[in-house]
Structure 1
Amino acid sequence: MKDLLHPISLAVAVLGFLCLLRDVPTRRRDPATTALAAVFLLSGLSFLFSITPMWNHLDRVLGTVNLSVPLAQGCVIALIACQQVVLTYWGAPPDIARRRARAWLGAGLSVIAGLLVLFALLTPSAPRPIDFTLYYAHDNMYAAYLTLYVTAYTIGELFLARACWRLARHSTRTSVLVGLRVVALGATITLGYSAVRMGNVIAGAFGTSLAEWENFAWTCGDVGAMLTLIGWLVPTITDQAQIIQYRIKQHRSYHRLRALWLAFHSEAPEIALPIDRVDPAQRRRFRGIAFKLYRRAVEIRDGRFVIRQYLDAGVRERSEAHHSAKGFHGDELNAAVTADQILAGIAARAAGNRPDPDQLTDFADADADADRQTSQPMDDIDALLAVARHFPREPARTPHPERASA
């Protein structure tokens, strides 16, 4: 059962660690993120050390029989402490969180030190990757070792379940609420493993065995640990999915603004922002979609400024009447009118026809985002996209008279 469930749990731990790995460098000052990444890493190591092939390999390489036991269980105690660090920083002010985090880490290190000392006092005779606990259950030194480990493990899981339920009640994010409740459920299930292991100690004292409960113990331990990892992973995957969705939106916005940008660039190519003089070491960040989209929006805004003096009030009035008759209103009406004004302004500039001063109008009067709130980065882009929706996909290039004669 152990060798069947451990690889699955190991895969979940590796997935979680890889998902968090990209965030750790950018959140170096966030102890909770670092501690959560450590939870996945330590969990993965604990499963890896306990798999039979790795167990046997470590015995051969390190020359110490059954050393996987304190290595795996030391990782478990460390990850329990790290889980408490995560919850401490999520639920307490920084000053209090730092003190509590140091206390949890100190307690974890103390337990690990005790486990190493007790393991060193054992007299292992042969590798026991499958039935180590049953084999040593009657050894008084191992009984002390197992009692220390199970006690620390049980206390950690009880604290974890209680803290997760408490924080979940105060969470405003659905992904965090769901994740914390799954963690609490997983921690509760692992108590079945604790009960069997404590039963091993008691049964050993009476000269009996709980061999028939081994599969139940490993099932509770692995399923509970897997649910705990999945619970920690829910907010992480949700955040990653939102980031991916945001990137996709940026790519789509960049391409959907092409027709609008091309209309301005065809008439006034000088709006293009030069980057050929940028330090080559910095050019990499200019290749990202975020900068490309921002650059395209700025160039479109510059293009609007170029044609401002060619805007005709009559165009606006006719366009408003036309689109109002089609049922447009509000922002959609402004966007459609703005698109018509842009096309007319570009054509007027290309032909050199500047309206009479009495017919000049302010571009903002029909701009799609004139009355919009732009508190979010994509709000300004959304306003331009509203205009682009009323634009021809590939506007015809109208050569400027001066450039044509040249």
Structure 2
Amino acid sequence: MKDLLHPISLVVAVLGFLCLLRDLPTRRRDPATTALAAVFLLSGLSFLFSITPMWNYLDRVLGTVNVSVPLAQGCVIMLIACQQVVLTYWGSPPDIARRRARAWLGAGLAVIAGLLVLFALLTPSAPRPIDFTLYYAHDNVYAAYLTLYVTAYTIGEVLLARGCWRLARRSKRTAVRVGLRIVALGAVVTFGYSGVRTGNVIAPAFGISLAGWENFAWTCGDVGAMLTLIGWLVPTITDQAQSIRYRIKQHRSHRGLLPLWLAFYSEAPEIALPIDRIDAAQRRRFRGIGIKLYRRAVEIRDGRFVIREYLDTGVRESSEAHHRTNGLHGNELNAAVTADQILAGIAARAASKRPCSDRLTDFADADRQTSSPMDDIDALLAVARHLPREPARTPHPERASA
């Protein structure tokens, strides 16, 4: 059972670590994110060390029989401490969180030191990757070792379940609440592993063997661990999904604004912001979709400013009447009228036909209220949708507005 479940758990841990690794550079000053990444890394290592082929390989390379036991369980103790660090930083002020985090990490290291000392006192004779606990159940030193490990493990899981449930009730974010409750559920499932291992310590005194409970213990341990890892990932995956959706929207908006940008560029190519004179490092920054979209919006606004003095009130009035008969109203009506004004203004500028001052007007959507950059983009996209589908062509338009 162990060699069946551990590889699955290892895959979950590795995928979770890689998912968190994406955010580490931007959150390197966030101790909670670093601790959470450590949880996934340590969890993956604990599963890796316990798989039979790796167990035997470490025995040969390190020259110590069953050395995977303290390695794997040391990783488990530290990931339990790191989980408490995450909860501490999520639920406490930074100054208090720093003190508590140091205490948790110190306690984890103390437990690991005790495990190493007790393991050194064992006299293992042969590799036991499958039934190590059952084989050494009658050894008093191993009983002390297992008691220390199970006590620390159980206390950590109890506090994890309690802390996650309490923090979930206080969180305002749905993803965080759901994730923490899944973590709490995973911690509760691991109590089955703790119960069997506690029985392994007590059973020899009564002449009882718990060999039949080994599969149950590993199932509870691995399933609980996987639920815990998945729960920790829920907020991160939710944030990354929102980020991906936002970037997709930016790409679509950038393409959607192309007809509008081309309409202005065909008459006023000077709107294109030059980037030829900036250094290579800055030029790379300009390749990001966020900067490209922002530049395109700025250039379109510049184009609107260029033709603003060519807007004729007669064009606006006739356009409004036409689109009202087609059932448009509100912002959609203003966007359609603005598109007509842009085309007429571009044509008037090309013919140098500026209307009289008493016939000048503003864009129909000039009074549209926007509260964020993407609201402004949406307003421009509404205008772009009412332009002809075959915009004016220019050589290399993206080079000028990349």
SS at match of 1:291: helix
Aligned equivalents of 2:341, 2:113: Cα separation in 1:
76
| Residue 369 of structure 2 is aligned to residue 372 of structure 1 | yes
**Equivalent residue letter for 1:68:** S
Return closer, same or farther for 1:133/1:397 CA change in 2, 3 Å cut-off: closer
Matched residue type, 2:347: A
Show the counterpart of 1:268: 268
Conserved in 2, the CA contact under 8 Å of 1:77 and 1:153?
yes
Residue 377 of structure 2 is aligned to residue 392 of structure 1: no
Aligned to 2:360: 360
Distance in 2 of aligned mates of 1:241 and 1:397: 36
State the Cα distance separating 1:206 from its structure 2 match.
Answer: 2.7
Pair 1:240-2:237 in alignment: no
* Superposed counterparts of 1:52-67, under 5 Å: 52-67=52-67
Deviation at 1:123, TM superposition (A): 0.6
Q: The residue matched to 2:296 in structure 1 has which SS?
A: helix
Alignment partner, residue 77 of structure 1 = 77
* Superposition deviation, residue 326 in structure 1: 1.9
Q: Give the letter for the 2:349 counterpart.
A: R
Hey, what does 2:206 align to over in structure 1?
Answer: 206
Distance 1:396 1:25, change over 3 A: closer
Unmatched segments (≥5 aa) in structure 2: 395-402
Compute the TM-score of the two structures, normalised by the length of structure 2. 0.96
* 1:185 and 2:180 matched: no
User: Which of structure 1's runs of 4+ aligned residues deviate more than 3 A?
Assistant: none
Q: Percent identity?
A: 86
The Cα RMSD (Å) is 1.2
Counting only pairs closer than 5 Å after superposition, residues 4-403 of structure 1 correspond to structure 2 as: 4-363=4-363, 366-367=364-365, 370-374=367-371, 376-396=372-392
**2: CA distance between counterparts of 1:72 and 1:283?**
47
How far residue 2 of structure 1 moved from its aligned partner, in angstroms, is 0.4
CA separation in 1, counterparts of 2:291 and 2:123?
64
Q: Secondary structure at the match of 2:190?
A: helix
Query: Which whole-Å CA distance do the structure 1 matches of 2:97 and 2:324 have between them?
Result: 59
Give, as a single letter, the amino acid of the residue that structure 2 aligns with 1:3: D
CA contact (8 A) 1:49 1:68 kept: yes
1:352 counterpart letter in structure 2 = S
Partner SS, residue 19 of structure 1? helix
TM, length-normalised to structure 1:
0.95
Secondary structure at the counterpart of residue 340 of structure 1? helix
SS of aligned partner of 2:26: helix
Q: CA deviation at 1:226?
A: 0.3
Per-residue CA shift, 1:316-340, capped at 9, x if unaligned? 1111222222222221111111111
Give the Cα–Cα distance (whole angstroms) in 1 for the partners of residues 182 and 104 of structure 2: 22
Contact 2:182 2:227 in 1 (8 A): yes
Distance 1:373 1:306 in 2: 22
Report deviation, 1:268: 0.6
State the 1:200 CA deviation: 0.3
**Given that residues 262 and 392 in structure 2 are in contact (C-alpha distance below 8 angstroms), is that contact kept between their aligned partners in structure 1?**
no
* Matched letter for residue 391 of structure 1: L
Counterpart of 1:5, as a letter, is L
Question: What is the Cα deviation at residue 397 of structure 1?
Answer: 6.0
The structural deviation recorded for 1:395 is 2.3
- Listed one character per residue, the Cα deviations across residues 235-293 of structure 1 (whole Å, up to 9, x for unaligned) are 11111111111111111101111100000001111111111111012221111111111
Contact kept? 1:84, 1:101, Cα under 8 Å: yes
What is the total number of aligned residue pairs between the two structures? 394
